[in-house]
Amino acid sequence: MTTRSDVADTVCPYRRTGQNPEPGVWRLRALTGREREVLLLLGTGLGNRELSRELGIAERTVKAHIANIVAKLGQQTRTQAAIISALAHNALCTDPSCSRHLGKVVGQWREPTLA
Protein backbone atom coordinates (compact mmCIF):
# COMPACT_ATOMS: atom_id res chain seq x y z
CA MET A 1 0.00 0.00 0.00
CA THR A 2 1.24 3.49 -0.82
CA THR A 3 1.27 6.08 1.93
CA ARG A 4 0.71 9.78 1.38
CA SER A 5 4.40 10.62 2.00
CA ASP A 6 5.50 8.10 -0.64
CA VAL A 7 3.26 9.80 -3.22
CA ALA A 8 4.78 13.22 -2.52
CA ASP A 9 8.23 11.92 -3.48
CA THR A 10 7.24 10.44 -6.86
CA VAL A 11 8.24 11.79 -10.22
CA CYS A 12 6.26 14.41 -12.08
CA PRO A 13 2.87 13.09 -13.25
CA TYR A 14 3.72 14.15 -16.81
CA ARG A 15 6.79 11.90 -16.74
CA ARG A 16 5.09 9.10 -14.84
CA THR A 17 2.10 8.85 -17.21
CA GLY A 18 3.85 9.94 -20.38
CA GLN A 19 1.05 12.46 -20.93
CA ASN A 20 2.19 16.05 -21.32
CA PRO A 21 -0.31 18.61 -22.68
CA GLU A 22 2.35 21.12 -23.71
CA PRO A 23 3.07 19.68 -27.19
CA GLY A 24 -0.53 20.54 -28.11
CA VAL A 25 0.21 24.17 -27.28
CA TRP A 26 2.88 24.29 -29.97
CA ARG A 27 0.33 23.18 -32.57
CA LEU A 28 -1.84 26.28 -32.18
CA ARG A 29 -0.59 27.69 -35.48
CA ALA A 30 -2.53 24.96 -37.31
CA LEU A 31 -5.84 26.40 -36.09
CA THR A 32 -7.95 28.89 -38.03
CA GLY A 33 -8.98 32.14 -36.38
CA ARG A 34 -12.45 30.77 -35.67
CA GLU A 35 -11.01 27.57 -34.20
CA ARG A 36 -8.82 29.66 -31.90
CA GLU A 37 -11.90 31.56 -30.78
CA VAL A 38 -13.78 28.31 -30.11
CA LEU A 39 -10.77 26.87 -28.27
CA LEU A 40 -10.47 29.95 -26.07
CA LEU A 41 -14.15 29.71 -25.14
CA LEU A 42 -13.84 25.94 -24.66
CA GLY A 43 -11.31 26.67 -21.93
CA THR A 44 -13.99 28.49 -19.94
CA GLY A 45 -15.88 25.23 -19.46
CA LEU A 46 -18.92 26.13 -21.54
CA GLY A 47 -20.93 23.30 -23.08
CA ASN A 48 -21.74 23.08 -26.78
CA ARG A 49 -25.13 24.79 -26.42
CA GLU A 50 -23.60 27.75 -24.56
CA LEU A 51 -20.72 27.92 -27.05
CA SER A 52 -23.15 28.04 -29.95
CA ARG A 53 -25.10 30.87 -28.33
CA GLU A 54 -21.94 32.82 -27.53
CA LEU A 55 -20.59 32.42 -31.07
CA GLY A 56 -23.90 32.80 -32.88
CA ILE A 57 -23.50 29.51 -34.74
CA ALA A 58 -25.31 26.17 -34.76
CA GLU A 59 -24.48 23.61 -32.10
CA ARG A 60 -23.59 21.19 -34.89
CA THR A 61 -21.01 23.68 -36.17
CA VAL A 62 -19.53 23.96 -32.67
CA LYS A 63 -19.15 20.17 -32.57
CA ALA A 64 -17.40 20.24 -35.95
CA HIS A 65 -15.02 22.98 -34.79
CA ILE A 66 -14.21 21.07 -31.60
CA ALA A 67 -13.55 17.87 -33.55
CA ASN A 68 -11.18 19.78 -35.85
CA ILE A 69 -9.43 21.44 -32.90
CA VAL A 70 -8.95 18.15 -31.06
CA ALA A 71 -7.48 16.55 -34.21
CA LYS A 72 -5.21 19.48 -35.11
CA LEU A 73 -3.84 19.68 -31.56
CA GLY A 74 -3.15 15.95 -31.54
CA GLN A 75 -5.45 15.33 -28.59
CA GLN A 76 -8.10 12.70 -27.93
CA THR A 77 -10.83 14.59 -26.06
CA ARG A 78 -12.36 18.04 -25.75
CA THR A 79 -11.21 18.10 -22.13
CA GLN A 80 -7.60 17.76 -23.26
CA ALA A 81 -8.18 20.61 -25.71
CA ALA A 82 -9.68 22.72 -22.91
CA ILE A 83 -6.55 22.11 -20.83
CA ILE A 84 -4.45 23.35 -23.74
CA SER A 85 -6.72 26.39 -23.92
CA ALA A 86 -5.95 27.16 -20.28
CA LEU A 87 -2.21 26.63 -20.81
CA ALA A 88 -2.17 28.80 -23.92
CA HIS A 89 -4.60 31.51 -22.84
CA ASN A 90 -2.15 34.35 -23.42
CA ALA A 91 -1.38 33.11 -26.93
CA LEU A 92 -5.08 32.79 -27.80
CA CYS A 93 -6.55 35.86 -26.09
CA THR A 94 -6.07 39.17 -27.87
CA ASP A 95 -7.87 41.33 -25.29
CA PRO A 96 -5.17 43.60 -23.78
CA SER A 97 -7.31 44.32 -20.72
CA CYS A 98 -7.88 40.62 -19.94
CA SER A 99 -7.26 39.98 -16.25
CA ARG A 100 -5.36 36.78 -17.11
CA HIS A 101 -2.71 38.95 -18.82
CA LEU A 102 -2.37 41.48 -16.02
CA GLY A 103 -0.98 39.11 -13.38
CA LYS A 104 1.90 37.62 -15.39
CA VAL A 105 5.09 37.16 -13.43
CA VAL A 106 8.36 37.85 -15.22
CA GLY A 107 10.65 34.85 -15.48
CA GLN A 108 7.95 32.18 -15.40
CA TRP A 109 6.99 29.87 -18.26
CA ARG A 110 6.07 31.85 -21.34
CA GLU A 111 3.35 30.74 -23.68
CA PRO A 112 4.16 30.59 -27.38
CA THR A 113 2.91 33.27 -29.70
CA LEU A 114 0.84 32.42 -32.74
CA ALA A 115 2.99 34.44 -35.13
Q: Which residues contact 23 (CB under 8 A, 6 or more apart)?
A: 74
pTM: 0.70
Asked if 57 contacts 96 with a C-beta cutoff of 8 angstroms, the reply is no
Alpha-carbon distance 82 to 107, whole Å?
A: 25
pLDDT at residue 97, as a whole number: 83
Q: Which residues contact 18 (CB under 8 A, 6 or more apart)?
A: none
pLDDT at residue 106, as a whole number: 43
Which of the given ranges, 2-16, 73-87, 93-107, has the highest pLDDT on average?
A: 73-87
Instruction: Report the pLDDT averaged over residues 83-107.
Output: 75
Asked if 40 contacts 28 with a C-beta cutoff of 8 angstroms, the reply is no
Asked if 85 contacts 92 with a C-beta cutoff of 8 angstroms, the reply is yes
Confidence of residue 105 (pLDDT cuts 50, 70, 90): very low
pLDDT at residue 58, as a whole number: 97
Alpha-carbon distance 95 to 109, whole Å?
A: 20
